[in-house]
Copies of this chain bind each other. A is one copy, B any other.
Amino acid sequence: MFDSLTYQKRRKALREKMSNGIILILGNNEAPANYPDNTYKFRQDSSFVYFFGHSHPGYAGIIDIDNGKDYFFGNDVDMDDIIWMGPQPSVKELAAQVGVEKSYPFDMLKEIVGKAIAQRRKIHFLPPYRYDNMMLLEDLTGIRASMTKQHASLELIKAVVSLRSVKEECEIAEIDKACNVGYEMHTAAMRLCKPGVSEQYIAGVLDGIASSYGRMVSFATILTQNGQTLHNHDHSHILQEGRLMLTDAGAELMNYYCSDHTRTIPVGGKFTGRQRDIYGIVLACHDKALELARPGVTYKSVHLEVCKVLTEGLKGLGLMKGNTDEAVAAGAHALFLPHGLGHMMGLDVHDMEDLGQCYVGYDEEVQPSTQFGLASLRMGRKLQKGFVITDEPGCYFIPALIDKWKAEKLHTNFLNFDEIEKYKDFGGIRLEDDILITENGSRFLGEKRIPITFDEVEAIMNE
């Protein structure tokens, strides 16, 4: 947790961006896995963490825009709680730690929200994603649980996005630390990646490192020799010589700041010629994004420049053909890169995704596309100093998608399907780093960069 002033300043800044009414920020509760008391590792709501700091179940906060006051809700522990969970500070003390004077038992939330509703004041809340909080919102506001998301406050969403998008110095320091844990995870994976080892074994080791040095993984690890499946959470295979192992994994610190890196490495420790060809293209794409990312540039334009580097590279290998700009404008390259260049990162690995990608990654100036591939770009808008984003180009050979496009004769003026066919057993490559937009450009987050060049990767794998 940061000092109480940090939270006071954030709430004040939020209040100043809002017109009137009260802002309700619900914390998360325990999430049952297989019965009510067997819960997953607790994960606080990121906006609650941002404005009210505390990381325990059963809290809520209210920021009153009109009277300038904040309220903290939670229940003090009783003797039974002390026996089972140990002594805890009082709710009054917790509130004071984040600069809130007024604290109440949780049940008072209903009374206070009810009073505000009776006074016809506007109740602003963020889109709920936990079903218990949807049910709580129904109880508090009378809106049906399944409809609460649609009643979230757009004014509040935009205000929160504008604050959380620009990372404070204290936040950047934490993201750097999360990336250091990410370094440990990825270098461990590189050392363990040998023929005969199971994907699951290595993925488990990464879970362990994230848990030993942070809270947990920042998302379910993707670790697979079938990298052509973009979000492959199946770890059931045994690594085979000659395949590539794609690892997309990150850590979440105890205070929830995240990392998210991807590396793709040759099982056995030596890239084949064909792997070098594709890997070199993806690395060039990755470098291109680094070269271009700076304040004032839209990330959509960076994404499109990267797609041109990809297209040029694939033309060099005879997989694509024709005019590069036209191919990218038509979206032909999306056969190989059906996802976007990156996303915001911070307290969430896809930062603020619960608030809506169209508000986090887009604005009046840059609107989401509907074109296959570009539509999956999570972050398109103009970069600002203090943004933390990922740079994660990839190149995939997805048999089902190749078959479909070939059968439909899609983009035949840009795609050499006969050559592409030969790569159907290739898999996929993605390379991802987390970067901070600085005054004049960008910098990697984390103390050391995870090995990425051919020499660096082959060196650590053959130590």
Contact = CB atoms under 8 A, between A and B. Distances in A.
A140 interface: no
Contacts of A201: 212-213
A35 B28 CA distance: 11
A309 interface: no
A349 interface: yes
Interface residues of A, number: 68
A7 to B, nearest CB: 19
10 smallest beta-carbon distances between A and B, as pairs: A208-B208, A204-B212, A131-B131, A204-B211, A35-B354, A86-B229, A207-B211, A35-B353, A33-B43, A131-B132
Contacts of A226: 86
Interface in A287-327: none
A145 to B, nearest CB: 6
Nearest to A88: B234
A45 interface: yes
A30 B129 CA distance: 12
A149 to B, nearest CB: 9
A83 B401 contact: yes
Interface string A203-223: 111111111110010011000
Nearest to A224: B86
Contacts of A233: 85
The CB with the most chain B CB atoms within 10 A, among A36, A203, A349, is that of A36
Q: How many copies does the complex hold?
A: 2
A225 B325 CA distance: 63
22 contacts: A28-B34, A31-B33, A34-B347, A35-B129, A35-B348, A35-B354, A38-B349, A38-B350, A41-B220, A83-B398, A83-B401, A84-B230, A85-B229, A85-B233, A131-B134, A134-B135, A135-B146, A139-B146, A145-B145, A202-B212, A203-B211, A207-B211
B34 A31 contact: no
A211 B40 CA distance: 14
Given A31-B40, A200-B212, A211-B204, A231 B79 contact: no
Interface in A112-157: 129-132, 134-135, 139, 145-146
